[in-house]
Amino acid sequence: MPERVSNINVLTLEDVLKIHEALVRHFDEVGNPICPPGARDINILASAVSRQTVGTSDWLKYAEPRYNAVSLMYGLCMNHPFHNGNKRTALVAFLAHLNANGYVFKSGVHHKDLYHKILELAAHRISIKIDHGRHQVEEELSELLKWAASITRRATSVNHPITFRKLKQILTVHGFYFDNFTGGFVDINKDTTVIESGFLGFRKKEVKRKSKITQIVYRGDGMTVEPSTIKMIRRQCGLTEDHGVDSQAFYNLETATDWLISGYSNILKKLANK
């Protein structure tokens, strides 16, 4: 789970490892395994991740969320902390960081733009500086920030397409569950506990009652739930920002990583060959 530091949600070392592991599983399934998988040096990986938190608890060097996101991407791409899959891990971590801080891509941004940018970064073609010292690092990060700022915007509410299986898992965490699968529909219920009085008001006891919250079209666990349906479910279940449940609280990192890998699989597949 991303960690809150100075008003920014940063990815932890464990988060980045989970992202790499999810990529390993994905490429195993598609027959193009990341081999060998895993961290080449855990200390180098920790150093790359720590770029996000350079500064103090009250002041961060990379305090703008998108600047913080590119600092993570830069570290993971350039430090080569994994045996293989560094560019892919860097890209998905960048996307996960943006998602955790409520940023989405502007209309018209193409996957190929992200693909070419990560290749430029890996080849040190981000900055026009020709020296290879510390100054170039800051120049490259500055150019990356300009790029990230130009293609992203704040999202007022982020709802992602996920499978019914993932939706079921998320709702279970919040105390809701699927019930009564009938005719292509399913109920979303929640159990509530009430106190009932016994005979003549004595012997009060707790009784669980099933409450139907809403009903949705159900097409099978592996099928996709559209963002508009998820928005409706969150509103009716009280799982919105107004009730203290923002998109980060609703979607966990594992869920976000899965749909990011699925949604950007074409880029990740091309990066596997670079």
Q: Which CATH architecture has domain 3-157+251-271?
A: Up-down Bundle (1.20)
Whats the size of the chain, residue-wise?
A: 274
Which sequence spans correspond to the domains of the chain? Answer: 3-157+251-271, 162-247
pLDDT of residue 250: 82
Higher-pLDDT residue of 274, 89:
89
What band does 5 get if pLDDT is binned at 50, 70 and 90? confident
Give the Cα separation of 201 and 197 in Å (integer): 5
Distance between terminal CA atoms of the chain?
A: 30
Give the Cα separation of 51 and 189 in Å (integer): 44
> What is the radius of gyration, based on Cα positions, of the chain?
22
Give the Cα separation of 94 and 257 in Å (integer): 11
* Nearest Cα residue to 11 out of 268, 257, 262: 257
pLDDT of residue 6: 74
**Average confidence (pLDDT) over 134-148:** 84
Tokens of 39: 């961290």
Task: Please check the confidence at residue 135 and state whether its pLDDT lies above 60.
Answer: no
Give the Cα separation of 249 and 174 in Å (integer): 10
Name residue 186's beta-bridge partners.
216
Give pTM, 2 decimals: 0.73
Q: 44-69 pLDDT, tens per residue?
A: 999 999 999 998 767 889 989 999 99
Give the Cα separation of 256 and 119 in Å (integer): 24
Give the Cα separation of 274 and 263 in Å (integer): 20
Task: Please check the confidence at residue 196 and state whether its pLDDT lies above 80.
Answer: no
Give the Cα separation of 72 and 91 in Å (integer): 9
Task: Compute the mean pLDDT over every residue in the chain, rounded to the nearest whole number.
Answer: 87
Helix, strand, coil tally for the chain in percent (to 5): 50, 20, 30
Distances (CA, A) of 198 to 19, 191, 210, 214: 53, 21, 20, 31
**Average confidence (pLDDT) over 183-207:** 75
What band does 249 get if pLDDT is binned at 50, 70 and 90? confident
Task: Please check the confidence at residue 130 and state whether its pLDDT lies above 60.
Answer: no
Task: Please check the confidence at residue 131 and state whether its pLDDT lies above 60.
Answer: no
What band does 192 get if pLDDT is binned at 50, 70 and 90? confident
Give the Cα separation of 220 and 239 in Å (integer): 23
pLDDT of residue 203: 62
DSSP calls for 11-42 = PPHHHHHHHHHHHHHHHHHTT---SS-SBS-H
What band does 215 get if pLDDT is binned at 50, 70 and 90? very high
Tokens of 123: 């080849």
**Average confidence (pLDDT) over 214-227:** 92
pLDDT of residue 58: 74
Contact present, 70 and 118 (Cβ < 8 Å): no
Share of the chain above pLDDT 90, in %: 51
* Nearest Cα residue to 73 out of 134, 144, 7, 153: 144
**Average confidence (pLDDT) over 27-39:** 93
Q: 142-190 pLDDT, tens per residue?
A: 899 999 999 998 876 667 788 899 899 889 888 899 999 999 999 999 9
Tokens of 237: 């279940």
- The residue type found at 3 is E
